[in-house]
Amino acid sequence: MSAYTEGQGGSGTLDFLRLVNDPGQTAGQFRGMLAAARAEYLEFSRPPYAVDPLDADQVLRACARGVRCRLIVERGTLDAAHQRFLADYENAGVQIRQIEKVPMKMAVMDGRCGLLALVDPVTTKPAWTAVVFEHEGMAEAMKSLFEDYWRRATSSTNPGAGKA
C-alpha cells in the first residue's frame, strides 16, 4: 500500500520520461521545450510532415534569440508548403541538410531534453507515439545520432527545395 501511495505522488523513477499519443499534447510539449531552448535545437524531419505555422514561428524565434538550429530532412519528400517553411528557415539562419532517410522524427534541445515521434508498426493507419524525455544521457545519445547523420547529409543548394 505504501509503494502504491508513493507511486501516485508523481515522484516515481521514470519522471524524466513520458509517452504521449495525443497530437495536441505532443505539440504542446514540443513548443514548451523549444521556447525554453537557449543554445541548440536539433531535428530529424520526415514524412508525414505537419506544417504548423505556430511550430515554424517557434523555430524562427529560437533562431532569432541565438539558438543554433539544425535540421536534417529526407531528400525528395517535401511538399510545396514545407519547402516554403524550410526556405524561410534557411533565410533566418537555420542550417538544413538532406539525406535519403532519417530513422525517426526527433527533436533535441540544449543537450538535455527532447522528443522522439515513433510510428506504431502494428496499426494499419499511421499512429504516432511521442517519447518525451528530460534526461541528459538520452539527449547526449540522440545528439550523437544526429551528428552522425549530419556528417553524412548534404547541404541544400536550393533553399527549401528538397533537392541536393
pLDDT at 27: 86
Residues with Cβ < 8 Å from 78, sequence gap 6 or more?
A: 49, 86, 160, 161, 162
**In this predicted structure, what is the pLDDT of residue 7?**
53
Amino acid at 127: A
**Measured torsion, CA atoms of residues 98, 85, 111, 18, in degrees rounded to the nearest 10:** -110
pLDDT number for residue 97? 95
Position 158 scores a pLDDT of 56
Gap between the Cα atoms of 103 and 118, Å rounded: 9
**pLDDT for the residue numbered 26:** 85
Q: How confident is the model at residue 6, as a pLDDT? A: 54
- The series of mean pLDDT values per 10 residues for the chain, 164 residues long, is 53 71 85 94 84 76 95 86 86 94 94 89 71 93 97 74 40
The whole-number pLDDT of residue 137 equals 93
Amino acid found at 22:
D
Say what angle helices 23-36 and 53-64 make with each other, to 10 degrees: 10
Domains of the chain: 16-155 (3.30.870.10)
Dihedral (C-alpha) 68, 90, 50, 104: value to the nearest 10 degrees?
Answer: -60
Distance CA 122, CA 73 (A): 25
The helix (run of H) or strand (run of E) holding residue 144 is helix 136-152
DSSP state of 15: T
* Grid cell listed for 13: 523513477
No. of helices (H) and no. of strands (E), the chain? 5, 8
pTM for this entry: 0.82
